[in-house]
Chain A
Amino acid sequence: MGAMLSFQTVYTMWLREMLRFKRAKSRIVGSLATPLFFLIILGTAMGSSYNIENYKEFMAPGIIAMVLLFSSIFGGVSVMWDREFGFLKEILIAPVNRFCIALGKAFGGVTTAMIQGVLLMIITNVFGVHYKSLLGMLLSIPIMFIIGIGFISLGIALATKIESHEGFQMVMSFLTMPLVLLSGAFFPLSKLPDWLRIAVHLNPLTYGVEALRFTLIGESEIPIVVCLVVLTSFAITTTAIGGWLFGRMEV
């Protein structure tokens, strides 16, 4: 019965996220506009100004990773809104395992993030970004899942510690933006000065960008195996920490 009940809990929390997603559909699809502008305008401009061949193709996996990051962290930090609006009490008072709740929340958020990532992948493809193969595009989906789980759990972990809207703003400006800028989403990793190269290599998102580059355009500077190991370790670590912190939360 234990396993059945755990599954039921995870599923319930996932279902809730999906019900919310269903209502926020237009907003979530609309949020793809910004990354598309980035790609179309910045991608085209940089490519032509600096005479870089296939810069749009280079940038597209980075932009997809960026959307996954935003969506995941936001999904995780939304635990904070649940606390703000009281729903968290309803969950925490239920006679269920809290780790399963955190996991269900993570799966729900990651589903949303993946829908956004896949949509963006298809739209950019339609807009003329060439990806290597359909198989590569399909293989990107499980990679999106691992990236999403890692960052959503990080978001959940942060949400258990954040007490205010200001804290939320801090996370967004002091964590999310540096993660994107330091990820190699916009530039190659090979010619960076030492300090920047180290920072970039310490950033888990870098490995997400590189892994997506491998599957989508067929080349990456970091070997795909390394990317997968780092991403999976990151996801397991943050899930463990996020689940643990969530379990100890008092409302």
Chain B
Amino acid sequence: MNAIVTNQITKSFNGFIAVNEIDISVKEGELFGLLGPNGAGKTTLINLLSTMIRPTSGTGTVNGFDIVHDSASVRAVIGVVFQGSTLDEQLTGLENLDLHGRLYGLSAGLRKKRIDEVLDLVELSHKSGLLVKTYSGGMIRRLEIARGLMHHPKVLFLDEPTLGLDPQTRLHIWDYIRRLNREEGITIVLTTHYMEEADNLCDRIAIVDNGRVVALDKPEKLKSALGSDVIILTLDTPEDAKKFYRVCKETGYVSASTKDQTVYISVKKSEEAVPEVFKTAFTSGTNIQSITMRKSTLDDIFIHYTGRGIRDELVDDITYMKYKLQTKR
């Protein structure tokens, strides 16, 4: 059975189409990733599925419940960890969890049991009596995840679960997410703009750009569709790069793209393709400054499908978080 199905779901804000006729289905127990740059529409999609906003057109179901007509049933079976903190910072961790349990109708005994469980899971038992405003970013994130699990949701939405966290905490949170998915069988949908996060965690990935799903498959399938190696050429000028990029396209390499004076070419086997590339460069009169080879990453997939790198327009995370805080909503 599918945990989530959307049918041509669309959301526009004052004429700006944030989510554009997206059709996806997520299987029960799947760890599903939405990958894309900031502003691609990932968060809007999560907000739609979690009934925080209503679609402009199209429909969707979560756990079989319609997100528009049966939003209360949807809300009862989902857990959501939003991008920013949604904790009450004036209260302690324990009080935040307790209020959550009450809102979800858990009895006093059950609340206590679940609170102990989830605090244990995210290793915050010893800090639960402190005010949340004294927590670090990682602790806040973990407490949010703990709270999202307290009512045993069938589907958990994680919006950028590791945004702005240090690498160690990130690994930690990845571990939780995997364990929740495997041991508890919770269907998880997460959004991220970190390639390695999607690659590491997800069973399937939907690449989202400008409100549309431009590719959807298992990470390894997405990668193998491109060829497993990438050849990176540095040329004299950006114009040269553009020209050579066009030549490559005509020559029929699996995929090529360009940025500044660099050209990326995806190939099956770089050892065999390099002489070919040299030959093409020679016949088209292009001068190669340097050449590098490496294995394909999801980054390359992203460039392939959207025509640009995921990091091109990406301010660093801290700047982005600050921006988010200033322009809340």
A residues sitting closer than 8 Å to B (CB atoms) are 5, 8-9, 11-12, 15-16, 19-20, 23-24, 83-96, 163, 250-251
Contact = CB atoms under 8 A, between A and B. Distances in A.
Contact of A87 (B52, B53, B72, B86): B86
Given A12-B103, A86-B86, 8 more contacts: A11-B102, A84-B328, A89-B80, A90-B100, A90-B147, A93-B52, A163-B329, A251-B52
A87 B87 contact: yes
B82 A16 contact: no
Contacts of B282: none
B163 to A, nearest CB: 14
A85 B89 contact: yes
A91 to B, nearest CB: 7
Contacts of A5: 105
B87 A90 contact: yes
Interface in B77-111: 78, 80, 82, 84-91, 95, 99-100, 102-105
A86 B103 CA distance: 16
B75 A94 contact: yes
A11 B78 CA distance: 23
Task: Kindly list the 8 A-B residue pairs having the minimum CB-CB distance in the complex, ordered from nearest.
Answer: A95-B76, A95-B75, A86-B86, A94-B103, A12-B102, A90-B86, A89-B86, A87-B88
A15 B85 contact: no
B74 to A, nearest CB: 8
A5 B89 CA distance: 26
The A interface is mostly helix, strand or loop, or mixed, namely helix
B233 to A, nearest CB: 46
Contacts of B88: 16, 20, 85, 87, 90
A86 B102 contact: no
6 contacts: A8-B105, A16-B91, A86-B87, A87-B87, A89-B82, A95-B104
Determine the interface band of chain B, counting residues with CB < 8 A from chain A.
20 to 34
B50 interface: yes
B95 A19 contact: yes
A84 B88 CA distance: 11
Contacts of B147: 90
A23 B86 CA distance: 19
A92 B91 contact: no
Interface in B214-232: none
Nearest to B47: A251
Contacts of A92: 52
Contact of A23 (B82, B84, B90): B90
Contact of B103 (A24, A85, A91): A91
B99 A12 contact: yes
Given A84-B328, A251-B329, A15 B80 contact: no
B95 A250 contact: no
A100 to B, nearest CB: 10
B329 A8 contact: no
Nearest to B51: A93
A86 B99 CA distance: 15
A11 B91 CA distance: 17
Interface in B33-89: 50-54, 72-73, 75-76, 78, 80, 82, 84-89
- Among B82, B86, B95, B131: residue with most chain A CB under 10 A: B86
B89 A20 contact: no
A177 B148 CA distance: 42
Contacts of B105: 5, 8
Contacts of A9: 103
